């Protein structure tokens, strides 16, 4: 009964939308949902590229059955083993027991580890080809984008790159899967959020993958999440290139923790200094209210970061400390920094923030502001000056910033 959307000759979209899940990986909110994309190639031999999350396995199987019309499924190609894509493998095997599972050695080891499957597998090597008849598939290993087994499959016949998570984003596909038929505006920030939070640690692996893919003539990118890219291929590839090199836009993110409003008032004042310094993109996050994934997205997007924290139990405010770990883990580069804090009887927050920026090897403003109890005139003016100094730094080019470090 399903009318699957055709992507190219013999190639059909059989993925699903998830509008139920609240948090991806039980961590990242899904305000616009998420799609798990899967693609079916119906040639002399039939091949499915990736599966979907098991929560939608039944509808997924029905879509495949509708398209195959009684034909068997010869191959399941696995570009990525994370269970949002491999989760329906065991269910699929019940319907198509002869199906061969195609993957690299790391993939097949995970197939056994996650699902206990050892038989009916086909191990392929980097650069190897699999012919389905008309369609010739080339396998390109792209390890650590963002798991060790990740690879991409290139259909030389239709010039389609099945890219796994790469170039994917959060957000369901409403009525159609093609970027040519969608208003894609809402996907850009969700692509940055996806990249920053999930792939962000692996910038150098993404750069290697992009270089490896450069010789390919690509007409269509079929990712495992979000739209099928035809019209915006240059934009999504450029976005991945910029993000993986930690290239940022002019703008400053202020993140603060505050229990009673004193540190918050400092944040507002620093923002005023930034605006006086000519910064138009000023994003302020209350660390206790904004979701961490949105904060990380904006840090990947903008060049400047200013963090403010009260001292709490002679440490940083815990939510701010948690954010620092998220930034450190991702090895975020090419940023300019400023910090401020407040305390009631003993100061610790600003010291920790100063150590943090040394670890990150970012360029830092000369001014730091550390206020005892309520904000007073001298430090009010220092907050303005902190904003103005970071504004000057954030207007530098990436090359100038790299030169300063
Ligand atoms: Fe969409 Fe890495 O899983």
Sequence ranges of the domains in the chain: 6-244, 249-404
Q: Considering only the top CATH level, what class is 6-244?
A: alpha beta
CA 353 to centroid of ligand 1, rounded, Å: 33
Q: Could you give the percent of the chain with pLDDT greater than 90?
A: 97
Nearest CA to ligand 1 atom 3: 82
For range 265-271, the mean pLDDT: 98
CA 320 to centroid of ligand 1, rounded, Å: 27
pLDDT at 404: 66
Integer Cα distance of 384 and 368 in angstroms: 11
SS3 301: helix
User: With bands split at pLDDT 50, 70 and 90, how would you rate the model's confidence at 112?
Assistant: very high
Q: Is the pLDDT of residue 397 over 90?
A: no
User: With bands split at pLDDT 50, 70 and 90, how would you rate the model's confidence at 74?
Assistant: very high
* Ligand 1 surroundings by CB, under 6 angstroms: 80, 82, 84-85, 165, 224-225
| Exposure string for 341-364, b = 16+ CB within 10 A, e = fewer | bbbeeebbbbebbeebbeebebbb
Residues composing the chain: 405
User: With bands split at pLDDT 50, 70 and 90, how would you rate the model's confidence at 398?
Assistant: confident
pLDDT at 403: 67
Q: Is the pLDDT of residue 1 over 90?
A: no
pLDDT at 401: 74
Of 151, 24, 145, the C-alpha closest to 83 is 24
CA 46 to centroid of ligand 1, rounded, Å: 24
Nearest CA to ligand 1 atom 2: 82
pLDDT at 222: 98
User: With bands split at pLDDT 50, 70 and 90, how would you rate the model's confidence at 399?
Assistant: confident
**Could you tell me which CATH number the domain at 249-404 has?**
3.40.50.360
What is the overall mean pLDDT for the chain? 97
Query: Cβ atoms within 10 A of the Cβ of 130, count?
Result: 19
**Which atom of ligand 1 is nearest the CA belonging to 168?**
1
**Segment 13-41, tens digit of pLDDT:** 999 999 999 999 999 999 999 999 999 99
318: buried, middle or exposed (CB in 10 Å: 19+, 13-18, 0-12)? Answer: middle
CB 172 within 8 A of CB 19: yes
CA 85 to centroid of ligand 1, rounded, Å: 7
Of 221, 327, 199, 307, the C-alpha closest to 258 is 307
User: With bands split at pLDDT 50, 70 and 90, how would you rate the model's confidence at 405?
Assistant: low
User: With bands split at pLDDT 50, 70 and 90, how would you rate the model's confidence at 400?
Assistant: confident
* Three-class secondary structure assignment of 235-275: HHHHHHHHHHCCCCEEEEEEEECCCCCHHHHHHHHHHHHHH
**Which atom of ligand 1 is nearest the CA belonging to 198?**
2
SS3 223: strand
Integer Cα distance of 174 and 170 in angstroms: 12
pLDDT at 318: 98
């Amino acid at each position: 009964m399903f009318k699957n959307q055709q992507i190219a000759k013999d190639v059909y979209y059989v993925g699903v939308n998830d509008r139920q899940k609240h948090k991806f990986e039980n961590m990242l909110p899904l305000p616009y949902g998420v799609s798990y994309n899967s693609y079916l190639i119906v040639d002399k031999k039939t091949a499915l590229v990736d599966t979907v999350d098991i929560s939608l396995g039944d509808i997924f199987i029905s879509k495949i059955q509708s398209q195959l019309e009684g034909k068997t499924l010869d191959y399941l190609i696995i570009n990525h083993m994370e269970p949002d894509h491999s989760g329906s493998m065991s269910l699929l095997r019940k319907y198509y027991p002869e199906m061969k599972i195609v993957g690299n050695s790391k993939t097949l080891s995970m197939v056994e580890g996650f699902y206990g499957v050892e038989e009916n597998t086909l191990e392929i090597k980097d650069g190897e080809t699999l012919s389905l008849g008309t369609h010739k598939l080339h396998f390109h290993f792209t390890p650590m984008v963002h798991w060790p087994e990740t690879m991409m499959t290139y259909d030389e016949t239709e010039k389609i790159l099945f890219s796994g998570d790469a170039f994917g984003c959060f957000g369901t596909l409403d009525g159609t899967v093609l970027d040519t038929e969608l208003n894609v505006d809402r996907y850009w920030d969700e692509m940055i959020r996806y990249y920053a939070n999930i792939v962000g640690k692996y910038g150098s692996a993404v750069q290697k993958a992009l270089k490896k893919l450069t010789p390919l003539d690509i007409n269509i990118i079929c990712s495992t999440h979000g739209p099928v890219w035809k019209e915006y291929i240059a934009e999504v590839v450029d976005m991945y290139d910029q993000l993986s090199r930690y290239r940022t836009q002019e703008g400053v993110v202020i993140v603060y923790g505050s229990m009673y409003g004193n540190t918050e008032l400092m944040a507002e004042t620093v923002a005023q200094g930034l605006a006086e310094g000519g910064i138009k993109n000023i994003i302020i996050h209350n660390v206790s209210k904004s979701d961490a994934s949105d904060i990380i997205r904006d840090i990947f997007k903008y060049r400047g970061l200013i963090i403010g924290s009260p001292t709490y139990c002679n440490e940083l405010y815990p939510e701010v400390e948690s954010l620092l770990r998220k930034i450190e883990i991702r090895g975020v580069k090419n940023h300019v920094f400023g910090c401020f804090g407040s305390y009631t009887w003993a100061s610790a927050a600003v010291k920790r923030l100063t150590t943090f920026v040394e670890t990150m090897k970012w360029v830092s403003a000369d001014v730091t502001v550390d206020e005892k109890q309520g904000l007073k005139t001298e430090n009010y003016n220092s907050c303005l000056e902190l904003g103005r100094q970071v504004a000057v730094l954030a207007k530098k080019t990436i090359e100038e910033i790299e030169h300063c470090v």
